[in-house]
């Protein structure tokens, strides 16, 4: 079995190290931030022995908070590269962009000393990490990037190492009479459709019953609504996935949450599962079907 990859995330403070490390954590890597350089080898020993769960790999955040990091990194990197699959990602940005980011977050730069300006501290760090940047497998300049753009760049760099990221979509049917569904990202109100509740032979059944489904879906308005929902979701889901969203909560409501909303939730879920959309996990939940 191949040894899981090891990724070292490093670079200038304020260039996006935390965002990159969080992206790798979301992808399933075992992530450790600010690991002392002396603990790299023991940590990898633990990974290889299976004592830490790192099936998708190990990501280490390292920077100038470890004062010996820069000087020792080239030697450590060479030794690790001979032992396992190693990637080093170095993040940098324009000095004034970094200064603006520190001003916005009100964080203290790790190298800022009394009597020194923030610009001087940033340039000092850039000088210290010069050797590390030269050794890196890839250098990302995040000056003009949003956090989402950086996350997508990290994912793209490690496409062959990481499992595909999924968008988890939960479609929940509910009844407005029992309260609004919360939290929800997208909601559809079906109370304009004819209600099977008022058909004596259908009242006791639910939207899972074929007779109820037939009653609802034979309505032309129901078919039009389903088509519009499917078009909207087909458009939005790839965009949400591209943006980095992990979860999407869709609510489908009717009066009691037993007939129309159940039928639609099941139909929406089945259509998207049958369409085999890549990177999509669809779950259907019925909140009020038994109330």
pLDDT tens-digit map of 238-262: 899 888 788 899 999 999 999 999 9
Per-residue pLDDT tens for 36-68? 888 888 888 888 787 777 667 889 998 887 778
pLDDT in the model for residue 11: 93
Please tell me whether residues 31 and 123 are part of one structural domain.
Answer: yes
pLDDT in the model for residue 91: 96
Any domain includes 241 = yes
Please tell me whether residues 148 and 226 are part of one structural domain.
Answer: no
Please tell me whether residues 106 and 189 are part of one structural domain.
Answer: no
Please tell me whether residues 256 and 279 are part of one structural domain.
Answer: yes
Please tell me whether residues 43 and 101 are part of one structural domain.
Answer: yes
Any domain includes 44 = yes
Domain boundary among 126, 157, 188: 157
Please tell me whether residues 139 and 221 are part of one structural domain.
Answer: no
Any domain includes 28 = yes
Q: How many CB atoms lie within 10 A of CB 97?
A: 17
Any domain includes 26 = yes
- With 90 as the cut, is the pLDDT of residue 5 above it? no
Domain boundary among 134, 157, 180: 157
Per-residue pLDDT tens for 6-28? 899 999 999 999 999 999 998 88
Please tell me whether residues 143 and 172 are part of one structural domain.
Answer: no
Domain boundary among 132, 157, 182: 157
pLDDT in the model for residue 276: 59
Any domain includes 55 = yes
Any domain includes 1 = no
Per-residue pLDDT tens for 71-93? 888 888 888 888 888 889 999 99
The total number of structural domains in the chain stands at 2
Give the chain's radius of gyration (CA, Å): 26
Please tell me whether residues 193 and 65 are part of one structural domain.
Answer: no
Q: Nearest 5 degrees, angle CA 158-CA 159-CA 165? A: 110
Per-residue pLDDT tens for 180-230? 999 999 999 999 999 999 999 999 999 999 999 999 999 999 999 999 999
How far from 42 is each of 45, 47, 52, 158, CA to CA, in Å?
A: 5, 9, 11, 24
- With 70 as the cut, is the pLDDT of residue 1 above it? no
Please tell me whether residues 142 and 251 are part of one structural domain.
Answer: no
Please tell me whether residues 153 and 171 are part of one structural domain.
Answer: no
Please tell me whether residues 48 and 97 are part of one structural domain.
Answer: yes
Please tell me whether residues 121 and 199 are part of one structural domain.
Answer: no
Domain that holds residue 255: 167-286
Can you tell me the distance from the alpha carbon of 212 to that of 52, in angstroms, rounded to the nearest whole number? 51
Task: Estimate the crossing angle of helix 220-243 against helix 260-274, to 10 degrees.
Answer: 50
pLDDT in the model for residue 274: 65
Any domain includes 221 = yes
Any domain includes 291 = no
The stretch 126-152 carries a mean pLDDT of: 91
CATH code where residue 153 lies: 3.40.50.300
């Amino acid at each position: 079995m191949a040894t899981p990859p090891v990724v070292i995330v490093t670079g200038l403070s304020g260039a996006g190290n935390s965002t990159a490390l969080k992206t790798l954590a979301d992808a399933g890597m075992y992530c450790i931030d600010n690991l002392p350089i002396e603990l790299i080898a023991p940590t990898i020993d633990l990974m290889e022995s299976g004592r830490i769960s790192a099936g998708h790999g190990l990501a280490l955040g390292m920077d100038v908070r470890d004062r010996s990091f820069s000087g020792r990194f080239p030697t450590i990197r060479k030794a690790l590269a001979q032992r396992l699959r190693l990637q080093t990602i170095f993040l940098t940005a324009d000095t004034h962009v970094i200064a603006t980011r520190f001003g916005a977050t009100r964080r203290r730069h790790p190298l800022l000393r009394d009597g020194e300006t923030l610009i001087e501290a940033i340039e000092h760090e850039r000088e210290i990490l010069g050797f590390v940047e030269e050794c890196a497998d890839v250098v990302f300049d995040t000056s003009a990037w949003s956090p989402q753009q950086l996350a997508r760049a990290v994912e793209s760099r490690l496409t062959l190492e990481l499992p595909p990221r999924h968008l988890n979509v939960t479609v929940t049917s509910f009844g407005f009479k029992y309260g609004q569904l919360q939290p929800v990202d997208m909601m559809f109100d079906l109370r304009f459709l004819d209600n099977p509740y008022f058909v004596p032979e259908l009242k006791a059944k639910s939207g899972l019953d074929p007779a109820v489904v037939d009653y609802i879906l034979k309505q032309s308005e129901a078919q039009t609504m389903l088509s519009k929902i499917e078009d909207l979701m087909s458009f939005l889901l790839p965009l949400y996935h591209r943006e980095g969203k992990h979860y999407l909560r869709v609510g489908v409501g009717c009066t009691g949450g037993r007939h129309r909303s159940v039928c639609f939730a099941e139909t929406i879920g089945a259509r998207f599962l049958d369409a085999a959309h890549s990177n999509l996990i669809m779950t259907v939940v019925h909140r009020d079907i038994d109330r």
